Amino acid sequence: MKKRWLSVVALCVLTACSVSPTGRKQLLLMGNNDVAQMGLTSFQQIKQKEKISTNPKQNHYVQCVAQAITRAIPEQYAAMNPGQWEVVVFDSPEVNAFALPGGRIGVYTGLLKVAKNQDELAAVIGHEVSHVLAQHSNERLSQSQLADMGMAAADQLLQNSSTKAPAMAALGLGVQYGVLMPYSRAQETEADVLGLQLMALAGFNPQEAVSLWYNMAAASTGKQPLEILSTHPSDQTRINKLQSLVPQVEPAYQQAKTNGVHPQCMG
């Protein structure tokens, strides 16, 4: 029984190994269709819970930026790009945005007070869409599944041990801090890199991504952290990293402008 559990865990790891767009190793246990269906279900639930904006100007603006970003998605991400993305603006003071597998994008009107122009909004949407393209949802779900399997395997191994309870507790902590949380930080960095590339290809000024995160930091100074910062930490290290990446994507931005790709979404 013990060997069988360990064999199952090992087989899952070996057969589900993949490589992210930046060359980072990933564990993907779920099929794309399954993850997309989860994205659809989650989006429907959010739409039922949140108030949807009926403001024509806001809707046109957000959809214009989002469509420019999704049109610029390179062919290499075809498997994760449904082509037609559903974009919904939620009437809420919350400073937040998200993208879900299956081609769903949500933007809260509170974000529009912090992302002060179309380029800054494109930085947020590009970042969120990049999470989808890099299959981060699949990765997080897979990590959780693997953690559950590891706990089950350990439970079998320690079945007759007097130290089972403390050992399981320690293992649980190790799983949380050693596997799940570090990957979250890696995913955020990856989405920053890909998002910057995406906004440049779409004709948005990548330098404005740096300005956006300064705005985010300023908006949360002396207050509760903004909702979006709970998973997208804005600190000087991140700003410095973005600033160092801008020169790398500047040629793509200039080429986009040369090709006449320069969105005009402000109306």
Residue 266 belongs to a domain: no
Residue 47 sits in which domain range? 2-258
Residue 188, in any domain of the structure:
yes
In a domain, 113, yes or no: yes
The residue assigned the tokens 């990446």 is 245
264 part of a folded domain: no
Asked if residue 111 is part of any domain, the answer here is yes
Question: What is the reported pTM?
Answer: 0.78
Residue among 265, 26, 9 nearest 137 (CA): 26
**What are the 10-residue block averages of pLDDT along the chain, 267 residues in total?**
43 56 72 80 91 96 97 91 93 92 94 96 96 83 60 48 47 42 69 94 96 87 63 71 94 95 84
pLDDT at 18: 75
Residue with tokens 């993305």: 85
The number of domains in the chain is 1
pLDDT score, position 168: 37
Query: How much is the pLDDT for 10?
Result: 46
Q: Is residue 34 part of a domain?
A: yes
Cα separation of 110 and 88, whole Å? 14
128, 139, 190, 227: the catalytic one is 128
pLDDT on residue 232 = 56
Q: Would you call 120 a catalytic residue per the annotation?
A: no
Task: Establish if 265 belongs to a structural domain.
Answer: no
* CB-based contact 104:50 (threshold 8 Å): no
- 238 occurs within a structural domain: yes
